[in-house]
């Protein structure tokens, strides 16, 4: 089944910068011949908390999502799209920090990545940072493409698109909806995200219905 782009694009939207957390990956401890917590440099790895992933699913899907844990270390996340439940899953082992709790959390986040939530974080470049007692002193800056609203429409463009789409739908003008959509929503992920974030969930559904009829 081809997934609704108004859903997939919004699930993939970058998180606010203040929701991004950082942990240490590889370090220079071995090169220096010291203990891991005595390393002076390490690669910063970005991640988001499970509760923020849940909020993203709530914001985009409302009540049309659920998670299931069929066996230890595995999480399945289902989205109800066009009345049908679709599932994607992934797993994780126990962590040294939070044990079983961390295992469930990691499995949940990995399953969400299968739907595109936070997947862009895997594409961030490796950046070495200074460490102090095993912790990152100053996290790296995010590239522009990894920030929410990258190349988003300005207020004038946003108002014009919203007014045009809503007016066309109220008139039952399928061709008018399609023309505006095709003009402002290109095949690139950034353009799709810009377009769909203008509308709320019910409006996105209505637009998709018009696009199917056109």
Euclidean distance between CA atoms 155 and 168, whole angstroms: 20
State percent of the chain over pLDDT 70: 88
Domain ranges of the chain: 5-146, 155-213
Nearest to 89 by CA among 116, 68, 72, 103: 68
pLDDT at 101: 66
Euclidean distance between CA atoms 95 and 185, whole angstroms: 42
Euclidean distance between CA atoms 152 and 161, whole angstroms: 12
Tell me the pLDDT tens digit for each residue of 21-53. 999 999 999 999 999 889 999 999 999 999 999
| 89 pLDDT more than 90 | yes
**Tokens, residue 53:** 């992933």
Hunting for tokens 């996340």 — which residue is that? 77
Q: What is the SS3 string spanning 65-127?
A: EEEECCCCCEEEEEEEECCEEEEEEEECCCECCCHHHHHHHHHHHHHHHHCCCCHHHHHCCCC
Tell me the pLDDT tens digit for each residue of 104-136. 899 999 999 999 999 999 989 889 999 999 899
């Amino acid at each position: 089944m081809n997934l609704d782009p108004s859903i997939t694009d919004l699930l993939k939207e970058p998180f606010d910068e203040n929701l991004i957390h950082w942990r240490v990956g590889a370090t220079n401890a071995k090169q220096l011949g010291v203990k891991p917590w005595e390393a002076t440099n390490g690669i910063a790895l970005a991640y988001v908390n499970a509760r923020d992933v849940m909020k993203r699913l709530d914001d985009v899907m409302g009540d049309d999502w659920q998670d299931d844990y069929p066996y230890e270390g595995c999480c399945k996340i289902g989205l109800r799209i066009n009345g049908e439940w679709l599932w994607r899953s992934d797993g994780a082992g126990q962590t040294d920090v939070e044990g079983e709790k961390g295992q469930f959390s990691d499995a949940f986040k990995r399953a969400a990545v299968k739907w595109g939530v936070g997947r862009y974080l895997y594409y961030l470049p490796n950046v070495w940072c200074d460490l102090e007692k095993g912790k990152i002193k100053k996290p790296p800056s995010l590239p522009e493409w990894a920030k929410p609203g990258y190349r988003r429409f300005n207020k004038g463009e946003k108002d014009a698109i919203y007014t045009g789409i809503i007016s066309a739908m109220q008139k039952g003008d399928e061709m008018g909806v399609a023309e505006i959509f095709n003009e402002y929503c290109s095949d690139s992920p950034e353009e799709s995200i810009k377009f769909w974030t203008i509308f709320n969930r019910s409006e996105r559904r209505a637009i998709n219905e018009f696009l199917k009829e056109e």
